[in-house]
Amino acid sequence: MTEQNNTQAAETEFAIQRIYIKDVSFETNNVPEIFTKEWQPEMNVELNSSSHTLNDNVFEVALRVTVTVKSHNEVAYICEVTQAGIFSVVGFNDGQLQHCLGAYCPNILFPYVREAIANLVNKGSFPAVNLEPVNFDALFMNYLQQQAQAESGETLQ
């Protein structure tokens, strides 16, 4: 039994080959006027991840986070960072691979995005932004449920 488990474990592999910033944008609006007003931030955060195959068992996963901050209904800044990684994923079944690319890899990339956004906001001379942790597993499960509902809805029509 142990030999079978060792063989099965040896057949699966996950490795990070590279993590890099793919795209960065920091736009300030209403500057310097916005600095003279009382700071009343309203923050909106959008997350988007995507993946594609580079070659056999090697995938690029990209996580894009867009932070839009308004004060007094005026856009103060828009900060967008796309952090990507190249991952080697071997021996996973389709469900495991989908979860790995849709939840596990974005979870690895998120701290890099959070740091990049914090640095950009700081260099823009705005108050610090610390993005809260994201439960990518829950987001991925919601995505799967939406896909299942869409497919069942299409089948009924």
SS (H, E, C) 33-89: HHHHCCCCEEEEEEEEEEEEEEECCEEEEEEEEEEEEEECCEEEEEEEEEEEEEEEE
Please identify which residue in the block is written with the tokens 């890899």.
105
Tell me the per-residue pLDDT of 18-53, one tens digit each, with 9 for 90 and over. 999 999 999 998 899 999 999 999 999 999 999 999
Distance CA 129, CA 140 (A): 25
Rounded mean pLDDT, 64-81: 97
Distance CA 154, CA 98 (A): 22
133 lies in which domain range?
Answer: 13-145
In a domain? residue 88 = yes
> What would the two tokens of residue 146 be?
């939406």
Q: What is the pTM of this model?
A: 0.86
| Residue 2 pLDDT greater than 90, yes or no | no
Using a pLDDT cut of 90, give the percent of the chain over it.
82
In a domain? residue 154 = no
Distance CA 147, CA 141 (A): 10
In a domain? residue 78 = yes
Tell me the per-residue pLDDT of 112-142, one tens digit each, with 9 for 90 and over. 999 999 999 999 999 999 999 999 999 999 9
In a domain? residue 58 = yes
> What would the two tokens of residue 36 be?
């003279």
Measured over the CA atoms of residue 93, residue 98, residue 100 and residue 101, the dihedral's sign is positive
> What would the two tokens of residue 132 be?
């809260």
Distance CA 82, CA 9 (A): 32
In a domain? residue 7 = no
Q: CA nearest 81: which of 39, 129, 34, 127?
A: 129
Instruction: Output the domain CATH number for residue 77.
Output: 3.10.420.10
In a domain? residue 122 = yes
Rounded mean pLDDT, 66-93: 97
pLDDT for 9 equals: 53
In a domain? residue 6 = no
Give me Rg for the CA atoms of the chain: 20
Report the number of distinct structural domains present in the chain.
Answer: 1
Distance CA 127, CA 88 (A): 38
In a domain? residue 155 = no
Rounded mean pLDDT, 75-98: 97
Strand 13-28 with 58-71, pairing: unpaired
Distance CA 124, CA 127 (A): 9
